[in-house]
Amino acid sequence: MAAGYRAEEEYDYLFKVVLIGDSGVGKSNLLSRFARDEFSLETRSTIGVEFATKTVQVDDKLVKAQIWDTAGQERYRAITSAYYRGAVGALVVYDVTRRITFDNAERWLRELRDHTDANIVVMLVGNKADLRHLRAVTHEDAAAFAERHGTFSMETSALDATNVDRAFAEVLRQIYHVVSRNALDIGDDPAAPPRGKTIDVGAAKDEVSPVNAGGCCSA
Amino acid sequence: MPTNTHTIRYNTGKKSLFSVHLMSVKFEDLYEFMVEGNVDDVNVLNEVRERIREQGRVWWALEASKGANWYLQPKISSNEGVISVTSLKLSVLTNTITLRRLIRKGVPPVLRPKVWLSVSGAAKKLSTVPETYYDELIRATEGKTTPATRQIDHDLPRTFPCHPWLNSDKGQASLRRVLVGYSFRDSEVGYCQGLNYVAALLLLVMKTEEDAFWMLAVLLENVLVSDCYTDTLSGCHVEQRVFKDLLAKKCPRIAAHLEAMGFDVSLVATEWFLCLFSKSLPSEFLMSILRFDKCLLQSFSLALRALNLEEMRTRIPPDAPTEGT
């Protein structure tokens, strides 16, 4: 066990990514699908904070993603400033079948901007995309949001695993690019927010468009 | 989880039968929760059960000599620290002391509903309102939709979903009534995520919905730090600060280690406090250590103990290095 643990510790970068969004949009299941390839219909509501890590390959580097998941209820926002500290990426999650959770994404984004570095990589994630017949938020809505706020966007289904790995991978890849492009000295604190040039979201946005996203044509 | 840190203590001769330590065991506990653990976990649970059984004998003996309701005398449930000795008969005082000592050692499961209701002050609270209070409250809330009820409906299927009763229509309806009822009783609290776990556990222990409701009320209104669950969770902030101070004082090495890693302990401890440990400890184990008369003090010492166990488990070296890459 100890040996396996140590092996997992081998990585080039450690990126902290936070999951935010209204209660019940599927944050915990996105996390478990990404980290352990598991989905549970019997998820317990998250209180406080939960974490998971997964190491993935980005270009020729090993990137360890440390994903943080928290409670979605509004009053919990007051206790989560420590939650955002050092985050270099975020998935703002909404439920494609519940319009209100999409409308609230803007507030979540504001929350994020208030607590994190301006260069944080943000991906708007419309989860539960498998529930096609119940859709309440269109691709166009999401695209317009992403355009307006300079974020990436993607639709996922934690249930059938569609795009989950891809959404996380894309966020990690973008973070890595920011970090490597700026040749930052992050040796002391790999989780530190990347500073310097902002990411050119305009160029990448079309590549990661709703549902059939992907197109990870890295430079 | 009460894992291998306990192994040495409980490694008695008869348990040496279990030599395969990685073997996973699944069993149903007293409150119908499925518990999955290794043999060490089972050993700890058996130990707890045995202790509770012994305590049960003490309680029965007392009932036999003093009468079934010996601890229900009016002054006994007084939670105020100052008790005027002159105003109390000696027997009442002895009973109070006996009760405190007994509760410290754990209450037998069958007596829990009665003892909790009495000792927590819930019975007293209940006695100040008309008998029909709960039923009327529930009737008044029927069909009403508020932000609280919406969040409650969202959380019902996500509250211990693996528990057979809590996952049934009947169980969820009960839990809903308790939570919705309380959200109308105290609109400042309304509903806060986390209360679903507390209320669910109270339902399982107290057996009746109304008693669970009054236990929830007394916890939020009299026992716990105030404003733990209100809009800004300010009471919860206070608890976390106190806990951090206590940690620095009682477990300086752990505190220093966490500090060096830049890890804010409230990130994990918030859940412990807001759910009264119900999400993080097996229910049966939890019940036997949660003493509601001193719930708060208990929470702090429990949290400290949890971190202590963790330290033993992971063996934090004296000067734990925290390299970045």
Q: Which residues of A touch B267 (CB under 8 A)?
A: 48-49, 82-83
What would you measure as the largest C-alpha separation in chain B, in angstroms?
68
Which residue of B193, B231, B266 is in closest CB contact with A45? Answer: B193
- List residues bridging with A61 in a β-sheet: A58
Report the CATH architecture of B109-223: Orthogonal Bundle (1.10)
pLDDT confidence tier of residue B36, bands split at 50, 70 and 90: confident
CB contact under 8 A, A189 and B324: yes
Q: Single out the residue of B182, B120, B127, B191 nearest to residue B154, CA to CA.
A: B191
Type of residue found at B180: V
* Closest approach of B60 to chain A, Cα-based (Å): 38
Decide if B23 contacts B7 (C-beta within 8 A): no
**Cα torsion angle, A149, A155, A158, A159, sign:** positive
Per-residue pLDDT, A212:
36
Task: Please tell me the distance from the alpha carbon of residue B304 to that of residue B194, in angstroms, as a whole number.
Answer: 21
Task: Please tell me the distance from the alpha carbon of residue B189 to that of residue B227, in angstroms, as a whole number.
Answer: 8
CB contact under 8 A, A78 and B233: yes
| DSSP H or E stretch at residue A21 | strand A13-21
* Closest approach of A73 to chain B, Cα-based (Å): 7
Residue B74 structure tokens = 């009016």
Decide if B176 contacts B156 (C-beta within 8 A): yes
The pLDDT of residue B181 is above 90: yes
Per-residue pLDDT, A190:
47
> What are the structural domain ranges in chain B?
17-68, 72-102, 109-223, 234-314
Pair type for strands A49-58 and A61-70: antiparallel
Over the Cα atoms of chain B, what is R_g?
21
Q: Which residues of B touch A49 (CB under 8 A)?
A: 267-268, 270-271
**Cα torsion angle, B261, B264, B270, B276, sign:** positive
Give this prediction's pTM.
0.78
Find the closest chain A residue to B189 by CA distance. Answer: A75
Task: Please tell me the distance from the alpha carbon of residue B28 to that of residue B25, in angstroms, as a whole number.
Answer: 10
In a mutagenesis test of the B interface, which of A39, A75, A84 is the best target, namely the one with the most B β-carbons within 10 Å? A75
Per-residue pLDDT, B312:
52
- A13-185 has which fold? Rossmann fold (3.40.50)
Q: Single out the residue of B298, B316, B296 nearest to residue B251, CA to CA.
A: B316
Task: Please tell me the distance from the alpha carbon of residue A72 to that of residue A23, in angstroms, as a whole number.
Answer: 4
CB within 8 Å of A81: residues ≥ 6 apart:
A115
What is the ipTM, given to two decimal places?
0.75
Q: Which residues of A touch B231 (CB under 8 A)?
A: 75
What tens digit of pLDDT does each residue of B130-168 get? Answer: 999 999 999 999 999 999 999 999 999 999 988 999 999
What tens digit of pLDDT does each residue of A3-44 get? Answer: 444 455 789 999 999 999 999 999 999 999 999 999 988 888
Decide if A191 contacts A66 (C-beta within 8 A): yes
Which residue of B155, B160, B325 is in closest CB contact with A187? Answer: B325
pLDDT confidence tier of residue B311, bands split at 50, 70 and 90: low
Angle between helix B195-206 and B209-218 (nearest 10): 130
CB contact under 8 A, B154 and A12: no
Of A182-186, B73-77, B252-256, the least confident: B73-77
Q: Single out the residue of B28, B29, B22, B30 nearest to residue B4, CA to CA.
A: B22
pLDDT confidence tier of residue B111, bands split at 50, 70 and 90: confident
Task: Please tell me the distance from the alpha carbon of residue A74 to that of residue A23, in angstroms, as a whole number.
Answer: 8
Residue B297: CB atoms within 10 A of its CB come to 10
* Closest approach of B26 to chain A, Cα-based (Å): 18
CB contact under 8 A, A44 and B192: no
> What are the structural domain ranges in chain A?
13-185
Find the closest chain A residue to B265 by CA distance. Answer: A82
pLDDT confidence tier of residue A185, bands split at 50, 70 and 90: very low
Decide if B256 contacts B247 (C-beta within 8 A): no
Q: Single out the residue of A167, A173, A125 nearest to residue A145, CA to CA.
A: A125
More confident residue, B71 or B260: B260
* 3-state class percentages of chain A: helix first, strand second, coil last, to nearest 5: 35, 20, 40
Task: Please tell me the distance from the alpha carbon of residue A81 to that of residue B88, in angstroms, as a whole number.
Answer: 51
Task: Please tell me the distance from the alpha carbon of residue B243 to that of residue A186, in angstroms, as a whole number.
Answer: 33
Flag whether residue B244 sits within 8 Å of chain A, measured between CB atoms.
no
